[in-house]
């Protein structure tokens, strides 16, 4: 029996996908699993943010706090993520990929220009994040809230498949962002470890 051809995968992240500390190691182990079982993975991240752009984002964040008395979060800003999409898209230019895997990459995925099928992979939507994590999103400004939801919505709707790690997140994608239920899949994640410990050690 002939083996299935290996796929060419563009692994799309703004952070370093080989850093085990990034997203609790999920991006690292997911990439390794894809490489082992599905195809050849090309890691496109990380995205180096230019000094001038970083400075501008810090200035806008400070201005929002001083003048509007509210938080503007650069991580979910159009300014930063349009640049990230341009940078990552440029690395894809002229190459063949069977699909794009985008783990925890909703903000930077929104403005990617490509005809390659996209697989969105995440654990929650922006709406869930912004309403659940009170410390990070305390006093969130209207502009920042709009930007985050706008980026999330564009990313979800440009993806061929949306994989989320809980029914809670899947329901948010379907009901809060009107993603067709047929395009959404729930996939539970295993442990992020190199090797399963012996049963004797666990007990």
Q: Which residues contact 21 (CB under 8 A, 6 or more apart)?
A: none
Gap between the Cα atoms of 14 and 95, Å rounded? 19
pLDDT in tens, 99-152: 999 999 999 999 999 999 999 999 999 999 999 988 889 999 999 999 999 999
Q: What is the mean pLDDT of residues 26-41?
A: 94
CB 106 within 8 A of CB 135: no
Closest CA to 149 of 162, 133, 135, 131: 131
Q: Which domains does the chain have, with CATH numbers?
A: 7-192 (3.40.50.2000)
Under the banding of pLDDT at 50, 70 and 90, the label for residue 199 is low
Q: What is the mean pLDDT of residues 82-87?
A: 98
Q: Report the pLDDT value the prediction gives residue 1, as an integer from 0 to 100.
A: 58
Q: Rounded to an integer, what distance in angstroms lies between the CA atom of residue 135 and that of residue 128?
A: 14
């Amino acid at each position: 029996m002939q083996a299935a051809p290996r796929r060419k995968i563009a692994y799309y992240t703004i952070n370093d996908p080989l850093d085990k500390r990034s997203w609790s190691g999920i991006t690292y182990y997911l990439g390794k699993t894809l490489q082992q079982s599905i195809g050849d993975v090309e890691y496109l991240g990380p995205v180096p943010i230019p000094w001038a752009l970083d400075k501008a984002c810090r200035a806008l964040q400070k201005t929002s706090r001083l003048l509007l008395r509210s938080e503007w979060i650069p991580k979910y800003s159009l300014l930063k993520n349009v640049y990230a999409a341009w940078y990552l898209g440029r690395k894809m230019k002229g190459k063949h990929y069977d699909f794009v895997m985008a783990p925890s990459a909703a903000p930077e995925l929104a403005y990617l220009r490509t005809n390659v099928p996209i697989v969105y992979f995440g654990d929650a939507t922006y709406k869930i994040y912004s309403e659940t994590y009170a410390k990070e999103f305390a006093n969130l400004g209207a502009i920042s809230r709009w930007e985050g939801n706008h980026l999330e919505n564009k990313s979800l709707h440009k993806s061929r498949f949306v994989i989320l790690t809980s029914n809670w997140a899947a329901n948010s994608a379907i009901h809060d962002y009107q993603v067709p239920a047929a395009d959404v899949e729930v996939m539970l994640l295993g442990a992020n470890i190199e090797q399963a410990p012996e049963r004797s050690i666990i007990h």
